[in-house]
Structure 1
Amino acid sequence: MTTKRILVAYGSKQGGTAGIADEIGSALREDGYETAVLPARDVRDVSGYEAVVVGGSVYAGRWHRDASRFVRLHAEGLSDRPIWMFSSGPVDGSAEQHDLPPVRGLARHMERLQAREHITFGDSITASTPGWIARYLVRHAAAGDFHSPEQIQGWAHHISAELADRP
């Protein structure tokens, strides 16, 4: 039996989504899958992967441009393999408290590709996050780290379980 290869592709502006993708990749590797974690803009071909997880940060109600472009460019290759999608963005506890629906553009991608599932994870804004918006939020005590490693790893293990049930 050969090991299933999984691609985790992501679009990240400040690095938080990249960190989530790395955590997903680590959990999938723990479960015995060969996993590549790559920026979505760097992926040239999806044919070498049996499954794909793609994620993007959400700003102003839009999924990250690189993640959207990845899904459009690779739509044909993605259509014949299982795909899961995630978003990151809220800088509060809402992503852990209840399911947050995908933004409109992502929902259209999911429908076209018949994605298995979507989840939204909390993001982080700290003093080391670049950009004037981050500095403003830190100054006004509206920042914090809302990543939930347990939630991220749990979802990745859920993906592993679904893949294990597939022939």
Structure 2
Amino acid sequence: MPESVLVAYGTTNGSTAEIAETVAGVLRKEGLVADTAPAATVTDVTPYDAVVVGGGLYAGRWHKDARRFLRRYRRDLARRPLWLFSSGPLDASASEKDIPPVPGVRRAMTRLDARGHVTFGGCLREGAKGRIARMIIRSGKGGDFRDFPEIEAWAARIADELVTRTRTS
């Protein structure tokens, strides 16, 4: 039976949701069952064998829905493979170097024994919600800095680990 994976996310303007959908798509291509859901709408993680959680970065903090998700399901998450991702830098830095998790995510990784974390570039487009987001766009610092080949490669590594785990169980 294929592993079942939940890819939950916290996003304000949809960029992190698009990353989550990409991750789930790769997992499905590799033979896993993968669902995506906004973190705030998830009511149970026990049907899943593994979980991936993503959060947009805002002023050095993970999206509140992703943070709340980790707190709400901490006991269940600690019992299954867990990976975390962040999205946010509005420049090419995430593609050029490994950006460590922000302190709150780093603490959650330790508490929940997460298998890994990666920070992907962010995306901020015209029409974004929020006063600060609109100011960033007006200043010319918006744009799409997500590296989808890197996102797909990261998701493929997760799939490989889960498929290998299934074969050896």
TM-score (norm 2): 0.95
Task: Find the residue that maps to 2:51 and give its secondary structure.
Answer: strand
Deviation at 1:135, TM superposition (A): 2.6
Q: 1-side partners of 2:114 and 2:17: how far apart? A: 20
Q: 1-side partners of 2:42 and 2:138: how far apart? A: 37
Identity %: 47
Deviation at 1:83, TM superposition (A): 0.3
Deviation at 1:139, TM superposition (A): 2.2
Q: 1-side partners of 2:77 and 2:141: how far apart? A: 38
Deviation at 1:143, TM superposition (A): 1.3
| Partner amino acid, structure 2, of 1:64 | H
- Decide whether the 8 Å contact of 2:12 with 2:129 is kept in 1: no
Structure 1 residue ranges without an equivalent (≥5): none
Q: 1-side partners of 2:133 and 2:42: how far apart? A: 29
Match in the other structure for 1:28:
27
Structure 2 residue ranges without an equivalent (≥5): none
Q: 2-side partners of 1:130 and 1:60: how far apart? A: 15
Deviation at 1:72, TM superposition (A): 0.8
Deviation at 1:136, TM superposition (A): 2.1
Number of residue-to-residue matches in the alignment: 166
Match in the other structure for 2:117:
118
Cα displacement string for residues 114-138 of structure 1 (whole angstroms, at most 9, x for unaligned residues): 0000000111112132333233222
| Partner amino acid, structure 1, of 2:59 | A
RMSD: 1.0
- Decide whether the 8 Å contact of 2:3 with 2:163 is kept in 1: no
Task: Find the residue that maps to 2:44 and give its secondary structure.
Answer: coil
Match in the other structure for 1:90:
89
| Partner amino acid, structure 1, of 2:71 | R
Deviation at 1:164, TM superposition (A): 1.6
- Decide whether the 8 Å contact of 1:56 with 1:86 is kept in 2: yes
Q: 2-side partners of 1:139 and 1:146: how far apart? A: 17
- Decide whether the 8 Å contact of 1:127 with 1:134 is kept in 2: no
Match in the other structure for 2:8:
9
Match in the other structure for 2:137:
138
Q: 1-side partners of 2:78 and 2:157: how far apart? A: 21
| Partner amino acid, structure 1, of 2:89 | P
Task: Find the residue that maps to 2:24 and give its secondary structure.
Answer: helix
Cα displacement string for residues 37-56 of structure 1 (whole angstroms, at most 9, x for unaligned residues): 00111111111111000010
